[in-house]
Structure 1
């Protein structure tokens, strides 16, 4: 995209927060966190302030507890997790990393930041980026300017691909869907959620179309005919590539012993042609070379 001048030439590196997407059970286990992770509590509970960033400083899996320190400074908070912990059900956990953005990038906001007007799930395109600020025009037309050290910028992510969960409710002209035949989301009819996002064209990428069709039918009670048709076509092509029809005489390339005989017969006919001057030895040699070349193109190298 940069070579095509669809993106700005200069990247700006931003400290990022990638959601860990812990399940409720995982959020109650200290082993799900590591020192350096960042958590946000969606409510004020057990010594945590709502929407405030905390850094995980230590974990004690055998006690099922973690220690947090406010990113802006302050006293540490020790949390004991487990089924009885109210804080465990309030934590959103993130992994710390870095991302690079340039003008023209498609992006989405993964964290709500009321101060910047950013909402989790909002998508748009970067119009300008500097070391201090990122300007984004949302798909609805609204424009945002977010400081690169803000919570909104730290939750900014590229939006060239999305999970089926992220993409619900969105519609585009064309879509490419990647789906393995073993993924658990098939039981939630994710196949139909994915392919219904496009107005004009869908490309499905999978490792085994027949197995995927079986899985969808088993989980949803419906069988997509297009997958069966494609699986059958692949099978037919594989069979045709490795099989010679029984009633078809072998071609010269498939019957190496006949090649010299055929060449000699064709050369003899040329030499006997009338008038003789029309068929010189050089023309004969040219014909044989052309004949061999055509056989290579049609049937492969002559052995």
Structure 2
């Protein structure tokens, strides 16, 4: 799971926890650091702003955060993931060399616990062999749910969408339409407050604010309002 550190946080040793996994977006050949490697935080000196890292081969290196690498660092926390044949999974990190994209879905079709391997069938029917002890392959999660943004371009038989009326930064017409239009047969929307949700949808189109008046929200047309109302009524919210 990504720690989602800001650039400022990534430059401070106190932002890291023992056991965190650090990956770099570029190579640092003079440090012996590869963008394909994974480096575990094993010691921190907050006063000197220095971390001790250990790579997968057991080699240790001293990382002076203010001198190199912090701007290219991606920090993760390991979490246990139980896999079974038939599980839906998705990659959670881009890997151009392996032709993997963040959010790319697949299905577990075989597991070899003795060798620590899993085989994943992607939507393109390509089969990926995942080494569960390989840092490069551990950017994986279950994919039973997704955000509306991640669901763009996908189609399924049924959609069950959750829309919290208080999530004003997420609930708007564009994401609402994307979420409910992914289904071939049935869409069901769950919300904590129907009227508040409808008002929020009317007020927020999801379009970028106009440069000439950034404080004025763009209002949906009468036809758009009517279609949103019909959608909410049809799904019984």
What is the TM-score of this pair, normalised by structure 1? 0.59
| Corresponding residue for residue 20 of structure 1 | 3
C-alpha distance in 2 between matches for 1:179 and 1:24 = 31
Shift of 1:205: 1.2
Secondary structure in 2 aligned to 1:101? coil
**Which of 78, 83, 104 does residue 96 from structure 1 map onto?**
78
Q: Is the 8 A contact 2:37 2:135 kept in 1?
A: no
Partner of 2:208: none
How does the TM-score come out when normalised to structure 2? Answer: 0.73
2:26 is the counterpart of 1:43 = yes
Write out per-residue CA displacement over residues 226-275 of structure 1, whole angstroms, 9 at most, x where no aligned residue: 47759xx88xxxxxxxxxxxxxxxxxxxxxxxxxxxxxxxxxxxxxxxxx
More helix per residue:
1
1:225 aligns with 2:229: yes
Match of 1:206 in 2: 191
Classify 1:144/1:22 alpha carbon distance in 2 versus 1 (closer, same or farther; 3 Å).
Answer: same
Structure 1 unmatched ranges of 5 or more = 1-17, 235-303
Contact 1:113 1:151 in 2 (8 A): no
Point out where structure 2 has 5 or more consecutive residues left out of the alignment: 206-218
How many residue pairs match? The answer is 213
1:197 match = 182
Alignment partners' CA distance in 2, 1:25 and 1:172:
41
Partner Cα separation in structure 1 for residue 135 and residue 144 of structure 2: 21
Indicate which of 107, 120, 124 corresponds to 1:125: 107
Q: Pick the aligned partner of 1:70 from 55, 59, 66.
A: 55
Q: 1:86-142 CA distances to partner (integer Å, 9 max, x unpaired)?
A: 633312211112111111111112235678665433211111112122111111111
Larger radius of gyration: 1
Cα distance in 2 for residues equivalent to 1:191 and 1:151: 36
**Superposed counterparts of 1:134-283, under 5 Å:** 134-183=118-167, 184-186=169-171, 189-220=174-205, 221-222=219-220, 223=225, 224-226=228-230, 229=233
